Structure 1
């Protein structure tokens, strides 16, 4: 995955990341506020050696002292010294009660000994640190020649004013960081194992065919599904003009073209794509026929406000003449529409019949472009059969997570099985990407009238 892929995952799955961040904060806060505050106290000792009369004696004495300091550090936490401290302070448990509380160390290349003590009581920590220093001096005096080596208290411990642990800001920061990392990790793992289609990259993993068009998420489509109902210079209208242009380039052999519009599963936006594409083709001056071949759930007539009871099923059953079933729609009747007709008990047999193949041939002889709205590929075989009769198939794929890659792959294999030509993919409901070209508007400038009645371009 590249950086832009991680950013896309974070943008799409931010709820998981935020939730895990709050979980990390809650756990860190719970751990922090259930801990008993600990106070730290430190006493420091200085190890000195009787100096000689020459520089060599001084150097040897310092070397001797540095070597002795290591032994004294170990002696400071020995049971003998800790037991003496416990007895002096009257602590129950003896040396065992001080194990882990008293830590002795020495700064590198020095003759200093630090005795650090942690305890829930600041006063008690200071008492233990000072007592440990005194008892260490006593123990060293018992095993060393005090005329040569001498330990002295350089700094006595004082009660701390604030606890050394728990460190609330640090713990909270660590909890937040771990929560964020866990959230990002879970989001990335879910993305890796998620087979739902959410971007063009997901489609290209399955299909080698090109992307003919891409349409972003638009909540207004429920009220205004047709591009003629909105702004003719909107981004959606321009996207359909691009789709119209790209579709022309798929017509390699020239002449008339019959295109089946389908999808893998229901609800991906195939009908609205077919209807709007047909409208755009008709507006460009092409002679276009829009056919509703979805005999199970027809929607074309409803979208266009036409009569849907007379149409394709009647023509295929020879109960209605084609000329009587075709309706004109739009300005000047530029778009011709063949609705689905009455519900048929055998839609697959009708659409797969020789009559349908002859009808498509007739469509191609009378129109420049024929747009056929077909059912989804996975539930029924109708679109695959129609695709083998027509010039090719355009698959509409929803990029909102509705469709899985396996479903799209299955749909493509169904088309390959009948040797239907896949013209390309229309990507629908694509998430808005900040900074993309979809945010730029290039509508015509308004024309204003000058003083003498001349038309001059408006200024932005």
Structure 2
């Protein structure tokens, strides 16, 4: 026979295992907070912007077609900026102790659609170093693109700098804790229903009807422990006096 579960049974399971669910959620949030604040290394971000415009030799012939050509070059420039040719020169110029592959993982190059501005963003545990690398990449690219593409159409629009009180972009403790709370609740609820599913013991008359398919003819109430102790005490006292217990 196909078994179904009612909303009341779901609520009963959640109430029954509420302490466990809350405990798992609190533990998950605590672990996430400890890892976010004391284990993960703070990462800082710094950005510089490059403007791709018409080549200097054609300054007097500024037109829409020239601008469109520069915009189409953006994707090519984005790849060149992160190429080993550029990054190796940046590593040598700044005396960085990392490979171009490692530096590539720290660099993100973006540009808005139909925009002539390229943004170079660098992430590093040291905010000053992040700004230094971003400015180094912009400077090297501006110099080398003249030989690579045989055009001089890149200008540095803004340089990367370090604020007086830089804030890390990651980790985000608030977001991490919120995610941990959601995951903790999901794990707790899932575990609650798993334990309930695996628990095949019979505890109530409803369980008898559900699992055995037998009607319940009657039940024996459980006497409170205080009444049980009082009855035993009266029985012992009457036995010591040689009296008999009259049934009422």
Q: 1:221 aligns with which of 224, 230, 235?
A: 224
Alignment RMSD (CA, Å): 3.3
Q: Work out which structure has the larger RCO, using CA pairs closer than 8 Å and 6 or more positions apart in sequence.
A: 2
Which one of the candidate residues 36, 41, 45 is aligned to 2:41?
A: 36
Change (3 A) 1:194 1:92: same
Higher-strand-fraction structure? 1
Long gaps (5+) in structure 1: 230-300, 306-326, 331-460
Match of 2:177 among 172, 177, 180: 172
**Structure 1 residue 89, shift from structure 2 partner:** 1.6
Q: Is the 8 A contact 1:103 1:115 kept in 2?
A: yes
Alignment correspondent of 2:25: 21
State yes or no: 1:63 paired with 2:68: yes
Deviation at 1:8, TM superposition (A): 1.5
State the alpha-carbon separation in 2 of the partners of residues 119 and 215 from structure 1.
71
SS at match of 2:109: strand
Post-superposition CA distance 1:35-67 (Å, at most 9, x none):
11111111122222368969xx51x33332222
Q: Is the 8 A contact 1:51 1:61 kept in 2?
A: no
Of 82, 86, 111, 1:81 maps to 86
Alignment partner, residue 8 of structure 2 = 4
Matches within 5 A, 1:292-441: 329-330=247-248
TM-score normalised by length of structure 1? 0.44
Judge which range, 199-208 or 35-44, deviates more.
Answer: 199-208
- One of 148, 152, 157 as aligned partner of 1:143: 148
**Are the counterparts in 2 of residues 87 and 94 from structure 1 also a CA contact under 8 Å?**
no
Secondary structure at the aligned position of 2:53 is classed as strand
User: How far apart in 2 are the matches of 1:108 and 1:214?
Assistant: 76
CA 1:47–1:14: 2 relative to 1, 3 Å:
same
State the Cα distance separating 1:94 from its structure 2 match: 5.0
**How far apart are 1:211 and its partner, in Å?**
5.4
- CA–CA distance in structure 2, aligned partners of residues 164 and 212 of structure 1: 67
Runs of 4+ that moved beyond 6 A: 51-54, 212-216
Matched, 1:194 2:196: no
Looking at secondary structure, tell me which structure has more helix per residue: 2
Tell me the secondary structure at the aligned position of residue 115 of structure 2. Answer: coil
The separation in 2 between residues aligned to 1:5 and 1:133, in whole angstroms, is: 64
**Alignment-derived partner of residue 206 in structure 1:** 211
Of the three residues 101, 106, 111, the one matched with 1:106 is 111
- 2:239 counterpart residue number: none
Question: How many Å separate the matches in 1 of 2:139 and 2:176?
Answer: 36
Gap change, CA 1:2 and 1:47, over 3 Å in 2 = farther
Taking structure 2 as the reference length, what is the TM-score of the superposition?
0.77
Point out where structure 2 has 5 or more consecutive residues left out of the alignment: 236-244
Instruction: Report the secondary structure of 1:118's partner residue.
Output: strand
TM-superposed CA distance for 1:199, in Å, is 5.5
SS in 1 for 2:132: helix
| Aligned-residue offset at 1:190 | 0.8
Aligned CA distance change for structure 1 residues 53 and 71 (closer, same or farther; 3 Å): closer
Do the aligned partners of 2:21 and 2:189 also contact (CA within 8 Å) in 1?
yes
Preserved contact between residue 108 and residue 121 of structure 2 (Cα < 8 Å): yes
Q: Give the CA deviation at 1:91.
A: 1.6
